[in-house]
Structure 1
Amino acid sequence: MAGHLSLAIIKPHAVFSRKVGRIISDVEDAGFGVIAGKMLLLREEGAREFYKEHEGKDFFPYLVKVMSSGPVWILLLAKNNCVEEWRNFIGATNPAEAAVGTLRHKYGDHVN
């Protein structure tokens, strides 16, 4: 099933603002299968480890702070060409630059 799975993380701001259900519905409506989902609290050390490829970049401290600021939802998604399809569906990193109809345009929070 290589190329058919991807990991998605719904950030704390979306959990706090009670958008998780709507986001998951949008994900399923876009043809992604949600194979598994789990809410968890990503502690600072866990966020640092998960995002270690970005260590040393200007945004790294902010990313760690945001991702460890509250609960996140982790989703395992399935779809043909899943990684590329997911990247297209979530949109540009900066929600202000994300195309209309993408998750980040619809639900995204500001980027520091």
Structure 2
Amino acid sequence: MAAAGRCGRPLQLTLALLKPDAVAHPLVLEAVHETILRHRFFIVRAKELRCGREESRRFYREHAGRFFYQRLVEFMASGPMWAYILAHENAVPLWRSLMGPTKVFRARNSVPDSIRGAYGLTDTRNTTHGSGRP
């Protein structure tokens, strides 16, 4: 049975990863964490982790064959990350909205206050990853 949110609606869970570029900068890490709390997510679990190349390949296998795949795999294996399981009545769409567009140029121009708009460096080093579905 799903837990109920503040209004009695079931809570949805989502995975939020803070990528190595965010973890390398403590102030960015803190700002993203504060964004999570400010938008009233429940943090079900948070853990620092490292993924090797093989784990990163499996995680991003849907992108295999795309021009950016190897660069993404190498980057995700390059340093520590933070993984969060977040709960909210609208966890997936809210987290995706807070992240902003994947492409940093678009994020900076269309949603500059989004996480990627504010902290993303490139389309690969774009601070966060989020689930596309619960």
TM over 0.5: yes
Q: Unaligned regions of 5+ residues in structure 1, if any? A: none
CA distance in 2, matches of 1:93, 1:72: 18
Gaps of 5+ in 2: 3-9, 125-134
Cα separation, 2, equivalents of 1:61 and 1:77 = 28
RMSD over aligned CA atoms reads 1.5
2:96 to 84, 87, 110: 87
Pick the structure with greater CA Rg: 2
What is the aligned counterpart of 1:4 among 8, 12, 32? 12
Indicate yes or no: 2:47 matched with 1:35. Answer: no
Amino acid of the structure 2 residue aligned with 1:10: L
Alignment of 1:1-112 (within 5 A): 1=2, 4-18=12-26, 19-98=28-107, 99-111=111-123
Describe the SS at the equivalent of 2:16.
strand
CA displacement 1:39-73 (0-9 Å, x = unmatched): 01111000001111111111111110111110000
Distance in 2 separating the partners of 1:67 and 1:105: 20
Instruction: Evaluate the alpha carbon distance shift between residue 61 and residue 105 of structure 1 in structure 2; reply closer, same or farther with a 3 A threshold.
Output: same
Report the counterpart of residue 7 of structure 2 in structure 1: none
SS of the aligned residue for 1:7 comes to: strand
**Contact 1:3/1:81 (8 A) holds in 2:** yes
Specify the SS of the correspondent of 1:110. Answer: coil
Q: Would the alpha carbon gap of residues 60 and 83 (structure 1) be closer, same or farther in structure 2, given more than 3 Å must change?
A: same
Cα deviation digits, residues 18-44 of structure 1 (max 9, x gap):
121221111111222211100011110
Number of equivalences: 112
Once residues 30 and 95 of structure 1 are traced to their aligned partners in structure 2, the CA distance between those partners, rounded to angstroms, is: 22
- What is the TM-score normalised by the length of structure 2? 0.78
Equivalent-residue separation in structure 2 for 1:45 and 1:90 (angstroms): 26
Question: Could you say what secondary structure the match of 1:6 adopts?
Answer: strand
